[in-house]
Chain A
């Protein structure tokens, strides 16, 4: 039962990632693209956690934690860049 639920859930998250990718490629404003990247990394965390359960391996957990941290820093840096036009001066 868990495997069937995981297959459905992984398909749903992949569809969500495709929708985010569509917004990333299309998004009229740069903020839309940054928000799409933010959503994309959160979707990736969900996907990695699901794959961790699917393959019964605990190694994926550290990967999910690293994606969470670097994704947050990337979002803040891109938002700062949008606001100021440069990152460090």
Chain B
């Protein structure tokens, strides 16, 4: 039973990891490419981690939450790295298919420049 659950989760996760990388390779500009790895790949890795937990629980060692460490860490870090990369691309003027929004008048984040 747990083995079947792990198999389904593994296939689900591998599919979404593949979709994320396909988006990274095929989408037209950087800001659209940012979508693939940050969402689809994170979901895929979450499914793989869940499969790992199911497999570890099924292999006689009982349920352990140690495997959740990777999942929690990735859920915290993936949005942060996506935000930092997007901000770097916006500041550097990376070519975009649609013009980026004009900066707000009272935005005081020029001090980070």
Contacts and interface: CB of A to CB of B under 8 A. Distances in A.
Contact of B84 (A10, A32, A49, A79): A79
A1 B4 CA distance: 7
B85 A79 contact: yes
Chain A interface category by residue count: 35 or more
Most buried by A among B7, B15, B55: B7
Interface string B1-32: 00110111011011101101110110000100
Interface in A32-89: 32, 34-36, 38-39, 42-43, 45-46, 49-50, 52-53, 56, 58, 61, 64-65, 68-69, 72, 75-76, 79-80, 82-83
A76 B84 contact: yes
Q: What secondary structure prevails in chain A residues at the interface with B?
A: helix
Contacts of A8: 11, 14
Most buried by A among B49, B52, B78: B52
B17 A5 contact: no
Contacts of A42: 17, 37, 41-42, 45, 74, 78
Interface of A: 1-2, 4-6, 8-10, 12-13, 15-17, 19-20, 22-23, 28-29, 31-32, 34-36, 38-39, 42-43, 45-46, 49-50, 52-53, 56, 58, 61, 64-65, 68-69, 72, 75-76, 79-80, 82-83
Given A9-B11, A12-B17, A31-B85, 9 more contacts: A5-B6, A6-B10, A39-B24, A42-B37, A45-B45, A46-B14, A49-B49, A72-B80, A76-B81
